[in-house]
C-alpha cells in the first residue's frame, strides 16, 4: 500500500468519524439530563444496605450531596426552587444514620432557612424540634434556632411560643444560659402579653439559684426597657436582695 493510499484511507476515516459524531449530536441534542434539585429520599432499609455496615462513611457521603444539592453540573439554584418537604425527609433520614452530629441541623438552620419562600421554613422548624427530642440535654441549642426561625422567618408567633416552651422545659440540671429559659417571655412580650412574660421571669428567679451579673443585668434590662415596668423591676430587685442574688446597687 502506497503512502498516498494510506493517506486517503486516513482522511476518509476521519470524515466518517466526524460524520458519525455530527449525526449522533443531531439525534440526541434534545435529550437533556435529569437535573433534579433534591433527589428522591430512599428508604432507610436501602440506605443501610448500601452503607455496607459503615453508617458514618455513608452519612458523610449523603450529607455532602444534600449540602450541594441543586448546585452541581455548573448550575446554581435559588433556595425558593427547592422542595422543602423532600429536604426534610433527607434530614430525618440522615439523623437515622447519625443523630449526634450537628452538621445536618446546622445546614438546616443556617443555610436552608434562608429561602426566599419563608413559608417553607416550617419544614425546618419541624425537623429541628424532632432532632432536639433525641437528646434535649445536648441538643437544646437547635430548639432556640427553631424559635428564631418560627418567629422571624415564618412570622408564626404561636408556633414560636410553643417551641419556646419546649426549650424552657429542658431539664433544670442542664447547663443552659438563662436567656434560653426566658425565651417564652420574649415571645409573650412581642405578643403584648406582659403578665405572662413577668410570670416566666419570676418562675426562673424562684427555681434557680446562681445567676451571673450579666444574666441579672439582662433580666433588669428586659423588665425596664422591654416590659417598661419600673414597679415590677424594683420588686424583682428587692426579692433578689432578700435571697442574696443581687449584690450591687443599680
pLDDT one-digit tens code per residue, 36-71: 899 999 999 999 999 999 999 999 999 999 999 988
Q: How many CB atoms lie within 10 A of CB 189?
A: 19
| Interior angle at CA 44, CA 41 and CA 50, nearest 5 | 95
Residue indicated by cell numbers 429559659? 181
- Distance CA(142)–CA(133), nearest Å, equals 10
Local confidence band at 27 (pLDDT 50, 70, 90 cut-offs): confident
Say which range, 132-136, 169-173, 178-182, 204-208, has the weakest mean pLDDT: 204-208
- pTM of the predicted model, to two decimals? 0.79
Q: Give CB contacts under 8 A, 24+ apart, made by 141-150.
A: 142/105, 142/109, 143/167, 143/170, 144/180, 144/183, 145/105, 145/109, 147/183, 147/187, 149/109, 149/113, 149/121, 149/124, 149/125, 150/121, 150/122, 150/125
For 171-183, write each residue's pLDDT tens digit: 988 888 889 999 9
Cell numbers given for 3: 503512502
Say which residue, 110 or 233, is predicted with more confidence.
110
Helix, strand, or coil (residue 105): helix
| Residue 250, pLDDT above cutoff 50 | no
Q: Which three cell numbers stand for residue 184?
A: 417564652
pLDDT digits (tens, 9 = 90+) for 68-108: 998 877 788 999 999 999 999 999 999 999 999 999 999 99
Amino acid at each position: 500500500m502506497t503512502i498516498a493510499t494510506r493517506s486517503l484511507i486516513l482522511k476518509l476515516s476521519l470524515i466518517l468519524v466526524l460524520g458519525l459524531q455530527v449525526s449522533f449530536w443531531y439525534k440526541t441534542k434534545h435529550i437533556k439530563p435529569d437535573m433534579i434539585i433534591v433527589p428522591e429520599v430512599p428508604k432507610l432499609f436501602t440506605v443501610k444496605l448500601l452503607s455496607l455496615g459503615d453508617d458514618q462513611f455513608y452519612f458523610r457521603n449523603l450529607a455532602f450531596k444534600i449540602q450541594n444539592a441543586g448546585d452541581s453540573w455548573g448550575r446554581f439554584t435559588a433556595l425558593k426552587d427547592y422542595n422543602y418537604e423532600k429536604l426534610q425527609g433527607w434530614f430525618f433520614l440522615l439523623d437515622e444514620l447519625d443523630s449526634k452530629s450537628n452538621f445536618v441541623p446546622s445546614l438546616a438552620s443556617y443555610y436552608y432557612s434562608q429561602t426566599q419562600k419563608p413559608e417553607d421554613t416550617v419544614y425546618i422548624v419541624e425537623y429541628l424540634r424532632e432532632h432536639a427530642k433525641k437528646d434535649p440535654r445536648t441538643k437544646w441549642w437547635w430548639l432556640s434556632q427553631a424559635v428564631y426561625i418560627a418567629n422571624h422567618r415564618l412570622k408564626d408567633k404561636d408556633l414560636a411560643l410553643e417551641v419556646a416552651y419546649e426549650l424552657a422545659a429542658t431539664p433544670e440540671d442542664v447547663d443552659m444560659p438563662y436567656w434560653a429559659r426566658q425565651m417564652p417571655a420574649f415571645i409573650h412580650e412581642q405578643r403584648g402579653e406582659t403578665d405572662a412574660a413577668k410570670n416566666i421571669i419570676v418562675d426562673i428567679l424562684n427555681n434557680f439559684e446562681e445567676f451571673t451579673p450579666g444574666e441579672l443585668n439582662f433580666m433588669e434590662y428586659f423588665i425596664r426597657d422591654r416590659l417598661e415596668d419600673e414597679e415590677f423591676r424594683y420588686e424583682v430587685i428587692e426579692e433578689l436582695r432578700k435571697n442574696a442574688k443581687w449584690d450591687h446597687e443599680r
